[in-house]
Amino acid sequence: MAKVVLITGASSGIGRITAILLAQHGYIVYAGTRDPSKFTIKLDNLHVIALDITDHQSIKHTIDAIQAEQGRIDVLINNAGYALVSTVEQASEEEMYNQFNINVFSILRLCKAVTPLMRINNSGVIINISSFLGKIGLPLFTFYNASKYAVEGITDSLRYELKPFNIRVHSIMPGFFNTNFAKGNLVLNDATVDENSPYSELASNLLPDILAQINGGNEAKEAAALIVKTIEDDASPARSTVGDKASKFIAMRRELSDEDFERRVREYYNLNG
């Protein structure tokens, strides 16, 4: 029987390519996006659906509709996410909350909504798209880092909670990927990037490098291939990295002390102080 997948943030980048690849592999895919008009490719078993991941009712409506059409949801891929670029000092309450609302609370909302169905079926796979910045801190990315560290924590805890019901939970930590992320989903705090900001030197040292690394990063299809493999291989690890920078930095992070690792990152990004 074809597996039924729900993926979030499907209009671009990793989400879009993954939705298409899964449909091509014969999965029945529900590609959730804020704006279905942005997803123009038509495939028989690919359903593009409007989904507001910040809204409990929108999630319930979507899950109920899939359950009514297919009688099951086998796989949930929590992919939607963006990065707030701000110092801690300059971020507004709204900016802080939004970062967690999208990157963290939406994952919890979706997990809450699908687990009863997966539990009854005694089967399921949940894949959380995290980041290598879920294990590594960078200045100006404190909120994004904190949100992705939280995704790692959610993955670790849920694995215990859901294993008795034969539900697997995994995190995938991409490095830099050449998607719409740099163009559309790095949200800059105006004060942080203002030339009169006390942090302007840090911002002008770091951000051009990060943008160049995202734009010159790996292709989304590599992440999509790993997502498919993670779904299909029951023995997939709890967390995997994908992309050159993730593999390099996560390996280095495991080997070095906190202080030595910080020194390497400072050298790499030319961070003083």
Ligand X SMILES: NC(=O)c1ccc[n+]([C@@H]2O[C@H](COP(=O)([O-])OP(=O)(O)OC[C@H]3O[C@@H](n4cnc5c(N)ncnc54)[C@H](OP(=O)(O)O)[C@@H]3O)[C@@H](O)[C@H]2O)c1
What is the contact surface with ligand X in residues (CB under 6 A)?
9-15, 33-35, 53, 79-82, 102, 129, 131, 174, 176-177, 179-181, 184-185, 214, 217
Neighbours of 205 (CB within 10 A): 14
Q: Among the options 3, 11, 27, 135, which is catalytic?
A: 11
**Inter-axis angle of helices 220-232 and 13-24, nearest 10:** 50
At residue 62's C-alpha, the angle toward residues 61 and 67, to 5°, is: 100
Indicate the residue among 144 and 197 with the shorter CB distance to ligand X.
Answer: 144
Question: Catalytic residue at 257?
Answer: no
Q: Which residue is nearest to ligand X (CB)?
A: 13
For residues 56 and 112, what is the distance between their CA atoms, to the nearest angstrom?
10
Indicate the residue among 63 and 197 with the shorter CB distance to ligand X.
Answer: 63
* Shortest distance (Å) from residue 223 CB to ligand X: 7
Indicate the residue among 153 and 198 with the shorter CB distance to ligand X.
Answer: 153
Question: Catalytic residue at 144?
Answer: yes
* Shortest distance (Å) from residue 45 CB to ligand X: 19
Q: Among the options 148, 149, 199, 240, which is catalytic?
A: 148
User: To which H or E segment does residue 248 belong?
Assistant: helix 244-255
* Shortest distance (Å) from residue 261 CB to ligand X: 18
* Shortest distance (Å) from residue 219 CB to ligand X: 11
121: helix, coil or strand? helix
Q: Among the options 130, 131, 171, 240, which is catalytic?
A: 130
Q: Annotate 66-80 with b (16+ C-beta within 10 A) or e (fewer).
A: beeebebbbbbbbbb
Question: Catalytic residue at 171?
Answer: no
30: helix, coil or strand? strand
* Shortest distance (Å) from residue 53 CB to ligand X: 6
Indicate the residue among 67 and 98 with the shorter CB distance to ligand X.
Answer: 98
> How, if at all, do strands 75-78 and 4-7 pair?
parallel
Question: Catalytic residue at 60?
Answer: no
Indicate the residue among 130 and 197 with the shorter CB distance to ligand X.
Answer: 130
Q: Among the options 144, 197, 199, 245, which is catalytic?
A: 144
Of the candidates 136, 134, 141, which has an alpha carbon nearest to the alpha carbon of residue 211?
A: 141
Provide the CB-side half-sphere exposure for 183 (13 A, CA): 8
Four-point Cα dihedral 11, 62, 128, 150, nearest 10: 110
What residues act catalytically?
A: 11, 130, 144, 148
